[in-house]
Amino acid sequence: MKIKKAVIPAAGMGTRFLPATKAMPKEMLPIVDKPTLQLVVEEIVEAGIEDILIITGRGKGAIEDHFDKSIELENLLRDKGKDEELEEVLKISSLANIFYIRQKEPLGLGHAVLCARQFVGNEPFAVLLGDDIVYADEPVIGQLAAVYDEKKNTVVGCQRVGWENVHKYGVVDTDDPEASVVKVKRLTEKPERSEAGSDLAVLGRYIIDPEIFEIIETTKPGAGGEIQLTDALNILASRQPVWAYTFEGRRYDVGDKLGFLEATVEYALRRKELSEEFKSYLTSLKD
């Protein structure tokens, strides 16, 4: 079954990035000149998925403005003959069919996903977290959809993160963390190093069976007192197979200051018009 719908939870408060995120949604922080959320939407569109639900919250109005038409700006760019910029701006408002719903209280990622129930209906769907962006030849969510196509069960996108980092992630317990596709035995949200079954972490990309909604409804608050998607997926894994897929690509945690800086530098170096000058600037810093 083709994956037709994607959900982007974007209601988080961005406390790791204050004060920048006091009034601005963290999803709008730019990597060079593009909001991280736009990179995530483009990944979805490249994978052939056109219906996207963004779960927002209070103070996230800039997100809707960004993906809307911007008539004054378009007219201004047209009048000034700035054709390239105009094309760029027009492209954003026609990228995909974007829908919005508000998560009224910050009760956790599991609860945010539950807000997508009506939109999703009874079919498998993609979930992408905006804190994780991945530079890859093939869009990561498309890689997961291909695995879904073969397995017909839930797939979580993973990479090894090192044992010193397991406490920050949802972690997979499996017989073979080296395998590119492997059955999940257990999922634990933010385990202590001593409790983690491996250092294979779930990194913000999922294709999920709709049975998850009924499970989330009765999932108790877990790590951080929040209703965790990982806990609901762990229950799902006890009822039907859930697969961990190690995706290809360079992943950045842009919700973290260092991860954000790494993404900024590396994306800038990939830009033709910036790379040469920026590289010589970076080289000059070594002295």
Cα 94 from chain centroid?
20
Report if residue 129 touches ligand G1P, rule: CB under 6 A: yes
Our CB check for ligand G1P shows the closer of 124 and 222 to be 222
Within 169-198, the residues that bind ligand G1P by CB under 6 A are: 169-170, 189
Instruction: Specify the amino acid at residue 229.
Output: L
Find the angle CA(93)-CA(116)-CA(123) to the nearest 5 degrees: 100
Q: Is 222 an interacting residue with respect to ligand G1P (CB under 6 A)?
A: no
Question: Candidates 30-38, 49-57, 137-145, 226-234 — which segment interacts with ligand G1P by CB under 6 A?
Answer: 226-234
The answer to whether 199 contacts ligand G1P (rule: CB under 6 A) is no
17 belongs to the binding site for ligand G1P (CB under 6 A): no
DSSP state of 10: -
Where does the chain show beta strands of DSSP type E? 5-9, 30-31, 34-35, 51-56, 97-102, 125-128, 132-135, 154-160, 170-173, 181-183, 186-189, 200-208, 242-246, 250-253
Q: Which residues in the 90-119 window bind ligand G1P by CB under 6 A?
A: 109
Q: What is the three-class DSSP state of 69? A: coil
260 interacts with ligand G1P by CB under 6 A:
no
Direct distance between the N- and C-terminal alpha carbons of the chain, in angstroms, rounded to an integer = 56
State yes or no: residue 154 binds ligand G1P (CB under 6 A).
no
Look up residue 223 and give its two tokens: 């790590």
Distances, alpha carbon 140 to alpha carbons 12, 38, 112, 143, 229, in Å: 22, 15, 22, 5, 19
Question: Interface residues for ligand G1P in 56-85 (CB under 6 A)?
Answer: none
Closest by Cα among 265, 38, 3, 40 to 140 = 40
161 forms part of the interface with ligand G1P (CB under 6 A): no
CA-to-CA distance for 165 and 201, rounded, in angstroms? Answer: 9
Q: Which stretch binds ligand G1P (CB under 6 A): 43-51, 65-73, 95-103, 223-231?
A: 223-231
Give the interface segment with ligand G1P, choosing from 17-25, 113-121, 207-215, 227-235 (CB under 6 A): 227-235
Which one of residues 203, 212, 215, 227 is an interface residue with ligand G1P (CB under 6 A)?
Answer: 203
State the nearest-atom distance from the C-beta of 93 to ligand G1P, in Å: 28
Nearest residue (beta carbon) to ligand G1P: 170
Residue 214 in tokens: 């009924």
Can residue 43 be called a binding residue for ligand G1P (CB under 6 A)?
A: no
Distance, CA of 282 to CA of 277 (rounded, Å): 9
Task: Select 126 or 229, whichever has its Cβ closest to ligand G1P.
Answer: 229
Residues in CB range of 65: below 8 A, 6 or more apart = none
Among 14, 197, 204, 249, binds ligand G1P (CB under 6 A): 204
Binding region for ligand G1P (CB under 6 A) out of 70-78, 224-232, 240-248, 271-279: 224-232
Q: What is the Cα Rg of the chain in Å?
A: 19
**158 forms part of the interface with ligand G1P (CB under 6 A):** no
Q: Is 159 in the site for ligand G1P (CB under 6 A)?
A: no
Q: Which two tokens stand for residue 164?
A: 């010193």
Rounded Cα distance between 279 and 281, Å, is 5
Residues in contact with ligand G1P by the rule CB under 6 A: 109, 129, 131-132, 169-170, 189, 201-204, 228-230
